[in-house]
Amino acid sequence: MTLISRFRSPRTQGILLLTPALGVYAMFAIWPMIDVLILSFQDWNGITENREWVGLRNYYHILYNDPVFWVAFKNTFIWTVLSVVIPPLLGLGLALGLNQKLILRAPLRAIYYLPVIIAPIAVATMWRWMYDPFFGLFAQLLADLGLSSWAVDWLGDRDVALYSIFVAYVWQNVGFSMVLFLAGLQSVDSSLIDAAHIDGANRRQVFKNVTLPALRPTITIVLVLSTISSLKAFDIIYGMTGGGPAQSTQMLALWAFTQSMEIFDYGRGSAVSVVLLLLTLAVVIPYMRWSQKQESDAQ
Amino acid sequence: MIAPALNMKRRDPVLIGLWISLALVALVWLTPVVFITFTALKSEAEIFSTAAFSVPSAIEWSNFGVAWIKGNFSQTFFNSTVITLVKVPLGLLISAMAAYALAQIKLGWNKALLLFVLFGAMLPFQVMLAPLFNLVNSLDLIDTYPGVILPYLAFGVPYQVFILHSFFRAVPKELTEAALIDGATHFTIFRRIFLPVSLPVLAALLILDFVSTWNEFAMALVLLQDKNMWTLPLGLMSFQGQFSSNYGELNAAIVMTVLPATLVYLIFQRYFVSGLTSGAVKG
């Protein structure tokens, strides 16, 4: 076969079109994932040539001898539960409201979505300043209301800090759920709603029996995306507390980073990463199977 | 809800109550932005002496100038611009090429390849920061533009391929086949037919990707260690560390970091929504 005719084969052309994207993806996204798995069975400080195999020692260490790991695990769990419940519920509420024909609907939607496009690290910086115990927004508001005694050191108090960060996270993420729900609501058949009204159904009945069933696929998507994005919470915590005070806001993603990049224990950091990766896969794989099934049902 | 416009005319109390509560919550949602902007425009003395929401009496523009210089903003701004301007169009092009091949050319394992790519859309790269550093370091690309652009490309591919693939697949195969019989190559068909028809989708993805590249922090933190290579988010973080008590300047720095993405959003608003939802909600 000459070069020209080879070039004309659809298969070759397809491979040429695929290679740049697949190549960079395999090398810079898939390989690091494999490498993190390998590293989790090794002892390495990031500098020496030698990566020594240590079997399951890193896992043993993080599970049995590292109290911070369990704090991070617990915080990640709390964080995930909160972020799967609160932002999607608020987002659904806003979407239902803003799906009505209301005056100034578009600007209202824009306001709710605005925080989504702000860099998480800038959100962290903004809220750190708002939580400033002396001149921050909350300290001032409480002082104006004569409630200074309610003021706490929002990011400095071990019992409060995680939830203070979460408030900022909600502020940033509600708009995302809202937009997905708004799009999902477009798929609700309006003639069904009209028919239900004619039959004398009230708003609640319409919501429960018409809107909610039609939203089911959207709800699944929002919940899965919320879970995934909550497991990777990193920027906002790094920026607001760095995991402190006294590790009270430590999370798995941040702890993996700290172990590897700041304590230079790549093995233990990678073991934490693998735990987080497994947790993510436990959500992702069923979801992918579900969406494959949806797709083949649709065809 | 049969005729919402009519309902409003009859002043449906439920809708009015709904509107008032939505507007009130929207005000709450805006407070952080207003507070930050006001603080950025106040002098140090005014910040300490006036209430949080008092409008700045004399606008202190110097906060911006001082923060710009102290924060090395001209350098970080430049780096962010270079990285974003290279990464976003290049990433979109390679994703579109791959999506076309997967949607329109029989390769035998299209479905498996597609799944392989989609898998990455769900992976948290935050988990892989250390091996990513390790890889880029072994290529001697730490503190270089390619060293951060290549991983950005890799983690942008899955979502874009996913969206574009579902779009390209909807184009009838007969169209491609007819063009092939007329002697066109797949490259020509991709460039002359598929790229032009997908311009709205590409625009939506372009804008989404601009914002997420502009805002990216965690990978840059690991891959760019030299101060002169930092992007805006890294610069802001370090500014906060060094000058956290110069409130006026800190808030000016926040405003400058956030402004470009905000402007892009306000100008191209409708593309955001279509870009986000075309993939996610269709399933």
So what's the pLDDT on residue B6?
45
Closest CA to B190 of B180, B181, B182: B180
**Lowest-pLDDT choice from A166-170, A286-290, B226-230:** A286-290
Q: Is residue B66 part of a domain?
A: no
Number of other residues whose CB lies within 10 A of the CB of residue B233:
26
Q: Is residue B99 part of a domain?
A: yes
Cβ distance A129 to B250 less than 8 Å, yes or no, reads yes
pLDDT digits (tens, 9 = 90+) for B157-181: 998 998 898 888 888 888 888 888 8
B197: helix, coil or strand? Answer: helix
Distance from CA of A260 to the nearest CA of B (A): 6
Give the DSSP H or E segment for A36: helix A31-39
Interface of B with A in 5-44 (CB under 8 A): 5, 8, 14-15, 18-19, 21-23, 25-26, 29-33, 35-36, 39
* Six token digits for residue A47: 């500098």
The whole-number average pLDDT for the span A223-244 is: 88
> How big is chain B by its Cα radius of gyration, in Å?
24
The whole-number average pLDDT for the span A26-43 is: 92
Domain end (from B18, B35, B60): B60
Residue type, A147: L
Cβ distance A32 to B48 less than 8 Å, yes or no, reads no
pLDDT digits (tens, 9 = 90+) for B121-161: 878 888 889 999 999 999 999 999 999 999 999 999 998 99
- Pair B88, B170 in one domain: yes
pLDDT digits (tens, 9 = 90+) for B12-40: 788 888 889 999 999 999 989 988 888 88
Give the CATH number, domain containing residue B159: 1.10.3720.10
Among A34-48, A166-180, A197-211, the range of highest mean pLDDT: A166-180
Q: Is B68 on the interface with A (CB under 8 A)?
A: no
Is it the case that residue B283 has pLDDT exceeding 70? no
Is it the case that residue A30 has pLDDT exceeding 90? yes
Q: Is residue B33 part of a domain?
A: yes
Q: Is residue B126 part of a domain?
A: yes
- Pair B122, B240 in one domain: yes
Indicate the burial class of A9 (C-beta count within 10 angstroms; 0-12, 13-18, 19 or more): exposed
Which residue did the predictor score with more confidence, A268 or B5? A268
Q: Is A29 on the interface with B (CB under 8 A)?
A: yes
Q: Give the bridge partners for B39, in sequence order.
A: none
Cβ distance B122 to A141 less than 8 Å, yes or no, reads no
B246: helix, coil or strand? Answer: coil
Q: Is residue B45 part of a domain?
A: yes
So what's the pLDDT on residue B210?
92
- Pair B39, B160 in one domain: no
CATH superfamily of A41-298: MetI-like (1.10.3720.10)
For chain A, the average pLDDT equals 88
SS3 content of chain B, % helix, strand, coil (to 5): 80, 0, 20
Cβ distance B151 to A14 less than 8 Å, yes or no, reads no
Q: Report how far residue B95's alpha carbon sits from residue B55's, in angstroms, rounded to the nearest whole number.
A: 47
Q: Is B3 on the interface with A (CB under 8 A)?
A: no
Interface of A with B in 116-175 (CB under 8 A): 117-122, 125-130, 132, 135, 137, 140-141, 144, 171
A15: helix, coil or strand? Answer: helix
Q: Is residue B68 part of a domain?
A: no
- Pair B149, B17 in one domain: no
Search chain B and give the residue with CA nearest A227: B122
How large a percentage of chain A has pLDDT more than 70? Answer: 97
- Pair B130, B44 in one domain: no
pLDDT digits (tens, 9 = 90+) for B69-108: 888 899 999 999 999 999 999 999 999 999 999 998 888 8
Q: Report how far residue B272's alpha carbon sits from residue B181's, in angstroms, rounded to the nearest whole number.
A: 38
Distance from CA of B201 to the nearest CA of A (A): 16
Q: Select from A28, A112, A270 the Cβ nearest to the Cβ of B29.
A: A112
What is the pLDDT confidence band of residue A231, given thresholds at 50, 70 and 90? confident
Search chain B and give the residue with CA nearest A98: B22
Q: Select from B32, B214, B261 the Cβ nearest to the Cβ of A171.
A: B32
B219: helix, coil or strand? Answer: helix
Count contacts between A and B (CB, < 8 Å). Answer: 309
So what's the pLDDT on residue A78?
94
Q: Is B241 on the interface with A (CB under 8 A)?
A: no
Q: Give the bridge partners for A53, in sequence order.
A: A42
**All structural domains of chain A with their residue ranges:** 41-298
Q: What total of structural domains would you count in chain B? A: 2
Q: Select from B22, B150, B237 the Cβ nearest to the Cβ of A121.
A: B237
Q: Give the bridge partners for A52, in sequence order.
A: A43
A42: helix, coil or strand? Answer: strand
Largest alpha-carbon pair distance within chain B? 77
Residue type, B153: L
B50: helix, coil or strand? Answer: coil
Which residue did the predictor score with more confidence, A280 or B3? A280
What is the pLDDT confidence band of residue B5, given thresholds at 50, 70 and 90? very low
Which are the contacts of B274, defined by CB distance < 8 A and separation ≥ 6?
B200, B201, B204
Is it the case that residue B272 has pLDDT exceeding 80? no
- Pair B28, B143 in one domain: no
- Pair B51, B78 in one domain: no
Q: Give the bridge partners for A42, in sequence order.
A: A53
Range of the domain at B141: 73-280
What is the pLDDT confidence band of residue B8, given thresholds at 50, 70 and 90? very low
B122 vs A contacts (CB less than 8 Å)? 228, 280, 284, 287-288
Is it the case that residue A230 has pLDDT exceeding 90? no
Search chain A and give the residue with CA nearest B189: A13
